[in-house]
A and B are shown apart, each in its own frame.
Chain A
Amino acid sequence: MVLKRVSTALSALLVLSAGAALGAEISGRSSTQLLWYNNEFTENRVFEAAEYLRVNVTKIDQAGKLSLFAYGRGAQIIGPDHDTTGRLYGLYIDYRDLADKADLRFGRQFASNAAGHALFDGLKVDLKNIGPVGLSAFGGRDVVYGLNGETGNTWNTDLGVSAYLNGFRKTDAEVSWLRKWEKSEAARDTLGASFKQYLFNMVRLYGNARYDLPSESFSESLIGTKIYPISDLVFTAEYYTSYPIFDTTSFYSVFAVDKFKEALVRADYTLSELFSVNLGYNRQWFDEGATANVYHAGVGISPIKPVRINLEYDNRTGYYGSMNGFTADVDYQINKSAQIAGGITYDVYQRDVITHEEIARRYWLGGKYKLAKNMALSGRVQNDVNARYSENVSGRLVFDYDF
């Protein structure tokens, strides 16, 4: 039923738009996928067929200001369960440069501002070219997805408002407000601010803060810098704090919680297409004296041009557990049409002090073949060997058609 609804809506929209708009350009992708995996809840093997459709219709009007975007998925489990699910991720009409002052977007869409983001059915308006400050607002019915489909209430709504600096090439600054209602109750009420400043052609300063109005506390704050003396070398330093927030409609929103803090430094260096390396260190502070350290190292090597090897090592020690592991993958571009790759992830972890060390391994192999300029067949098979499974094979086969 859901599958039919999604595909019918998308098809109708496509036909309607194409028919109504002489000269409109239609592009997009159809992705037909066959998936097989183990359902952890039922321990059943699942075979599932999924059809994705993404459609862009542009230049609907003569001035090329009106466009349409649609993106959805229908999926059906093959076999006795034959469960059908669908998701309509986006379906909106875009009208740009109204009187050269406004961009309008109407329908199901994903929008963000410095205070947060939302998927909603509604309207977004961006007012521009009105001076050094631009204004943006969005609002509509909140769309929430759970494990298998939409779980939100019909009357849950979002409203976001922003003012931002406009026309400054090396400076961004924004203040925003985002409120989410659960029926008539304000579940979230957040003020946000962000900034970015480029300096000396080699420094980026940036920050973001979110202030939760009900608890009168900063739910998140971030200050960071990137230093890039050359285009291939980037140093990053960040300091971040967060204070967990719950919807005001949740019982847990009234509880005292601890603040989490972390500092991060990392370096990314790309010597050439043949070699790149990155190193990172992250120090985490939990209240009451608990800490954790996270180290990361990564290397990318191309010993010969069509082959790429990526290696990553991560090590975490401290509060709530340790993890020590690596990933390794090899990518081989056989020719312009064919590509294969494979890899392994090996993690040794221990949760808290009450569990023993456990090992999780993932082996995977995949490939892609371009049947034509606009058609590709790809596949991936993986096997997970871990504390829960001695063998857990899953995979997918995908046929992509671009139009």
Chain B
Amino acid sequence: MLLVLSILYVQQAAAQKENHKEYRDSSISDCNSCHKSEGIAPNHDSDWIRNHRTVADKSVNKCGECHDQSWCLDCHKGGGIGADFKAEGSRRNFVPSSHRSDFINIHPIKAAGNQQSCYRCHEQKQCSQCHDRFPKGNLRIKSHLGLGTNGQQYSPSSAADHATEARRNLQSCASCHPDGDVCVQCHKSGGVRPHPRNWKSDNWKDRTKGRVCLKCHIPGSF
């Protein structure tokens, strides 16, 4: 097996990767036709927005041979020099087509799934920057309905719903309660333990000098 792999790698090593700079103005169909003849997978297909990270998230990728960094930054950091007139906009920034129609109302459905895809462009703190600007009573959250002056305080009978929702989408809690002050009321030391089963508190103490731990625990007790 090792011998076969070695031969395979030696053969591959004999042929260097193609430099694409001279093809940067080619059509995608021409690119893919050439790719196929070389055994390379076609790309830039209709799924490219979702799938491109598997090609781009490398320390040395080939994106720069056809695109300069503004191409990445226009989506990942909110720009718009390279987008054409068909690209959608959100205020002064351009947005990828994955943010369709009324994304402000639809985004909770999307964010319930793969939240990592949100974080590739948005900082986690950006959620609370936006949510902070809306009156909290206007938001519709299943486990919060029922009590309080604005109907947004969750009732003890919905505690199970609250736990399930929080485990599935903790970011939604952080979006409105960035400091977790309401969480501490129940999850403080001696209350409902929030940590996962294999909790390694030393990892936090090493990295943050226990600053986060002090939110619930008294010094020296953790």
Chain A residue at minimum C-beta to C-beta distance from B74? A89
Total A-B Cβ pairs within 8 A: 352
Interface membership of chain B positions 71-107, coded 1 if the CB is closer than 8 angstroms to chain A and 0 otherwise:
0110011111100111011011000010011101110
Asked if A7 CB lies within 8 Å of chain B CBs, one says: no
Decide: B105 and A360 in contact? CB cutoff 8 A: yes
Decide: A380 and B85 in contact? CB cutoff 8 A: yes
Asked if A134 CB lies within 8 Å of chain B CBs, one says: yes
User: Inside 8 A of A260's CB, which chain B residues have their CB?
Assistant: 113-115, 168
Q: A41-B133, A242-B116, A345-B100 are in contact. Are A31 and B81 (CB under 8 A)?
A: yes
User: Inside 8 A of A386's CB, which chain B residues have their CB?
Assistant: 101-102, 105
User: Inside 8 A of A236's CB, which chain B residues have their CB?
Assistant: 47, 51
6 smallest beta-carbon distances between A and B, as pairs: A231-B36, A360-B102, A201-B39, A251-B180, A136-B59, A162-B59
Decide: B39 and A198 in contact? CB cutoff 8 A: yes
A sample of 6 cross-chain residue pairs with beta-carbon separation below 8 angstroms, ordered by A number, consists of A75-B92, A187-B208, A198-B40, A208-B53, A260-B113, A327-B100
Asked if B4 CB lies within 8 Å of chain A CBs, one says: no
Asked if B125 CB lies within 8 Å of chain A CBs, one says: yes
Q: A147-B129, A240-B114, A252-B174 are in contact. Are A216 and B200 (CB under 8 A)?
A: yes
Q: A33-B80, A110-B69, A206-B54 are in contact. Are A351 and B180 (CB under 8 A)?
A: no
Decide: A349 and B69 in contact? CB cutoff 8 A: no
Decide: B208 and A185 in contact? CB cutoff 8 A: yes
Which residues of chain A from 8 to 41 have any CB-CB distance to chain B below 8 Å in the complex?
29, 31, 33, 35, 37, 39-41
The contact of A87 among B54, B79, B145, B204, by CB within 8 Å, is B79
User: Inside 8 A of A122's CB, which chain B residues have their CB?
Assistant: none
Give, as a whole number of angstroms, the nearest-CB distance from A65 to chain B.
15
User: Inside 8 A of B183's CB, which chain A residues have their CB?
Assistant: 251
User: Inside 8 A of B47's CB, which chain A residues have their CB?
Assistant: 236, 266, 268, 278, 280
The contact of B102 among A119, A347, A353, by CB within 8 Å, is A347
Decide: B195 and A349 in contact? CB cutoff 8 A: no
Decide: A249 and B211 in contact? CB cutoff 8 A: yes
Decide: B116 and A251 in contact? CB cutoff 8 A: no
Asked if B32 CB lies within 8 Å of chain A CBs, one says: yes
Decide: A329 and B86 in contact? CB cutoff 8 A: yes
Cα–Cα, bound, A348→B54 (Å): 31
Which residues of chain B from 164 to 181 have any CB-CB distance to chain A below 8 Å in the complex?
164, 166-171, 173-174, 179-180
Give, as a whole number of angstroms, the nearest-CB distance from A307 to chain B.
15
Give, as a whole number of angstroms, the nearest-CB distance from B161 to chain A.
10
Give, as a whole number of angstroms, the nearest-CB distance from A199 to chain B.
8
Decide: A222 and B204 in contact? CB cutoff 8 A: no
Size of A's binding interface in residues, CB under 8 A: 152
Decide: B105 and A388 in contact? CB cutoff 8 A: yes
The contact of B195 among A37, A144, A198, A254, by CB within 8 Å, is A254
User: Inside 8 A of B145's CB, which chain A residues have their CB?
Assistant: 354
User: Inside 8 A of B209's CB, which chain A residues have their CB?
Assistant: 185
Asked if B124 CB lies within 8 Å of chain A CBs, one says: yes
User: Inside 8 A of A114's CB, which chain B residues have their CB?
Assistant: 57-59
Chain B residue at minimum C-beta to C-beta distance from A113? B59
User: Inside 8 A of B173's CB, which chain A residues have their CB?
Assistant: 252
Decide: A171 and B105 in contact? CB cutoff 8 A: no
Chain B residue at minimum C-beta to C-beta distance from A362? B101
Give, as a whole number of angstroms, the nearest-CB distance from B171 to chain A.
6
Asked if A370 CB lies within 8 Å of chain B CBs, one says: no
Give, as a whole number of angstroms, the nearest-CB distance from A95 to chain B.
15
Decide: B35 and A231 in contact? CB cutoff 8 A: yes
Which residues of chain B from 44 to 76 have any CB-CB distance to chain A below 8 Å in the complex?
45-47, 51, 53-54, 56-61, 68-70, 72-73, 76
Decide: B115 and A360 in contact? CB cutoff 8 A: no
Asked if A372 CB lies within 8 Å of chain B CBs, one says: no
Give, as a whole number of angstroms, the nearest-CB distance from A50 to chain B.
6
Chain A residue at minimum C-beta to C-beta distance from B103? A360
Asked if B33 CB lies within 8 Å of chain A CBs, one says: yes
Chain A residue at minimum C-beta to C-beta distance from B107? A351
Chain A residue at minimum C-beta to C-beta distance from B15? A169
User: Inside 8 A of B88's CB, which chain A residues have their CB?
Assistant: 362, 364, 382
Decide: B168 and A164 in contact? CB cutoff 8 A: no
